[in-house]
Amino acid sequence: MTHHHAHDPNPTPPTDDPSFVVVTPAGSQHVTFEVLRSLPFRVSPDSYIVSTGHGTSGPFAFGGTLLVEVIKRFAPEQWTTAQVTSVDGFATRLTADEWRPEAERPVLLAYEIDGRVMTRAQGLVRLIVPTETDEALRQIKWVGEVRLFA
């Protein structure tokens, strides 16, 4: 008998376009991959993807832009919470404390893995929450929306 766990990861990119939107009560802004790449670059070393389906992979060095840099650029107000949702409807919530830039292992919108641009199948653009090493429920592939709450 096959057990389909509630969070069997989706291996198939739902679309090709890696752009996403930043949503606030004031409206929505489209962020292309080119614009994301123009923001400051940061690496999160020693990051793991702990999968229920196929075990742990890594450590990887994920490279990209800190979530806080995207917030500062596209929604420079005070927020308590961000909800990051993928194009295939996978979501996680973060508190402002989790995206603060001085965190030891800050949250990243990653587009590189081990020094190379990720393929769309690898998750481009992928949320990396380095402190989450449980079931990879927060390591969201194919980010489609970053929604901010006051």
Is the CB of 58 or the CB of 73 nearer to ligand MTE?
58
Tell me the closest approach of the beta carbon of residue 39 to ligand MTE, in angstroms: 22
CA 83 to chain centre: 10
Interaction residues for ligand MTE, span 100-139 (CB under 6 A)? 123, 135-137, 139
Please give the residue ranges that form the binding site for Mo ion (CB under 5 A). 51-52, 135-136
Helix (H) or strand (E) holding 73: helix 67-74
Cβ proximity to ligand MTE: between 27 and 55 the closer is 55
**How many CB atoms lie under 10 A from the CB of residue 106?**
20
Query: Residue 88 or residue 135: which is nearer to Mo ion going by CB?
Result: 135
Instruction: Yes or no: say if 111 and 127 are a contact pair by the CB < 8 Å rule.
Output: no
> Rg (Cα) of the chain, in Å, rounded?
15
Amino acid residing at 77: E
9 touches ligand MTE by CB under 6 A? yes
Closer residue to Mo ion in complex, CB, 52/133: 52
- Is 1 buried (19+), middle (13-18) or exposed (0-12) by CB count in 10 A? exposed
Under rule CB under 6 A, residue 7 binds ligand MTE: yes
Q: Does 51 bind ligand MTE (CB under 6 A)?
A: yes
Q: How far is the CB of 30 from ligand MTE (least distance, A)?
A: 19
CA–chain centroid gap for 86, Å, is 9
